[in-house]
Amino acid sequence: MKVALDTNVLAYAEGVNDIGKRDIALSLVRRLPPDAAVVPVQVLGELFNVLVRKAGRSRAEARNALLGWRDGFAAVDTTPEAMLIAADLATDHRFSIWDAVVLSVASQAGCRLLLSEDLQDGFTWGGVTVANPFASPRHALLESLLKGDAE
């Protein structure tokens, strides 16, 4: 099962905002099967912005963090089609355009899960289910992936 990572998961893993969530995010990304996770390019851009603006890191430090995430997980591009689909999602479901882009790209990449606390836990669209990795209990699909039971 493929899974897409949203910005908040990576930001917490980088130690931004919440130490408890940092530990959860780091544990989670370490437990993901190596070829199971993807990072939408949109997420890398958002992470850069969070690291510079919110965490006070230098641009060079933020760039190095992005390179590390890109090296660890496959980066998935935003296609023109994904952007148009995202505009429909933003219109139909009142998502921010950037959350809609991440969901659209995850769907195009063949992901079954999008790990995010920004969208409604359990929301399913385009074959992708949103799972909040910080919720308790965890979504059944996420638990299945972490236990290695997923297809």
* Total number of domains in the chain: 1
Say which CATH number the domain at 134 has. Answer: 3.40.50.1010
What is the pTM assigned to this prediction? 0.93
pLDDT above 70 (res 150): no
User: What are the phi and psi torsion angles at 130 (to 5°)?
Assistant: -80, 130
Q: Give residue-wise pLDDT tens across range 71-121.
A: 999 999 999 999 999 999 999 999 999 999 999 999 999 999 999 998 999
pLDDT of residue 145: 85
Mapped onto helix, strand or coil, the DSSP state of residue 95 is coil
Mapped onto helix, strand or coil, the DSSP state of residue 106 is helix
- The range of the structural domain enclosing residue 48 comes to 3-147
